[in-house]
Amino acid sequence: MPAPTPTPDTVLAFDTSTERMAVAVQAGDQVLLDNRLGGAAASASLLPTIEALLQLAGQPLSSVAVIGFGHGPGAFTGLRTSCAVAQGLAFGLGCPVLPIDSLLIVAEQARRQQAPGADDLDVGVVMDARMGETYAARYRWCGGAWQTLQAPALWSPLALAEAWAGQPPALSAGSGLEPFDTVLREACPPAQRVTCDDDRAAALLALTLAASRLGVGLDAAQALPLYLRDKVAQTIDERAALRAATDAGTRPAATA
């Protein structure tokens, strides 16, 4: 079997913002996807996974023409890993980077899984941000493209429930729905929730290709994370207050 011909416009995409790491490569008609455990392991496994997919595609690293990367919001260490690898590779290759909204990846997963033929769809994404808070955003799929209705932000579950209860999204998805189920039931009705499958890489690649077609690539130096929380740890008193509020069936409010 002849070896694949090097493709000079190979697309590479990866995301390490959650507990699941996603890596995708498209080289000509070849599409290779890898979804695996991420979290703390991503810093050690991301580069070997990229190398393995490129080898499977028969493409050298030098064939990569654009790099899409999940820039957040998400886990602090994961975002640093994603951005550092994107920046380092892009500097070396002299190619542009495409920052991909990590919450939009979840919305794209939900759309592809639940309503792939929809022409107009409102999707709310709620991710567990720990410390009793959520990362949330709202998007609209219309005319074959995504629009951001509500940009990613850090919310308390109560504030988010108040903001969305009057007009719940048609679909909702994300890791924050289950831990804050009691608070979010009216804003994100269980009947409209999507439990996304594990193929995060396919959704990431679709968003990267869409961004690439728009020509929105940035210089490698701009491969920066989207941090929504300055404070990453709680005091003993704050943890105690959160436990007490949880036991009482409420959640302490936080500013969106």
Query: Residue ranges per domain, the chain?
Result: 10-101+198-222, 103-194
The answer to whether 50 touches 27, Cβ cutoff 8 Å, is no
User: So what's the pLDDT on residue 229?
Assistant: 83
Length of the chain counted residue by residue: 256
User: So what's the pLDDT on residue 252?
Assistant: 43
- Checking if the pLDDT of 232 tops 70, the result is no
What is the 3-state secondary structure of 120-164?
EEEEEEEEECCCCCEEEEEEEEECCEEEEEEEEEEECHHHHHHHH
* Sign of the four-CA dihedral 110, 112, 118, 120: positive
The model's pLDDT over 172-181, given as tens digits with 9 standing for 90+, comes to: 999 999 999 9
**10-101+198-222 and 103-194 share one fold:** yes
In CATH terms, the superfamily for domain 10-101+198-222 is ATPase, nucleotide binding domain (3.30.420.40)
Sheet holding 30-37, edge to edge: 30-37, 20-27, 10-15, 64-72, 97-101
- Checking if the pLDDT of 233 tops 60, the result is no
Q: CATH second-level architecture of 103-194?
A: 2-Layer Sandwich (3.30)
In the beta sheet, which residues pair with residue 170?
A: none
pTM, rounded to two decimals = 0.87
User: So what's the pLDDT on residue 241?
Assistant: 53
- Checking if the pLDDT of 40 tops 70, the result is yes
Q: Which amino acid is at 28?
A: G
φ and ψ at residue 203, rounded to 5 degrees:
-65, -40
Q: How confident is the model at residue 254 (pLDDT cuts 50, 70, 90)?
A: very low
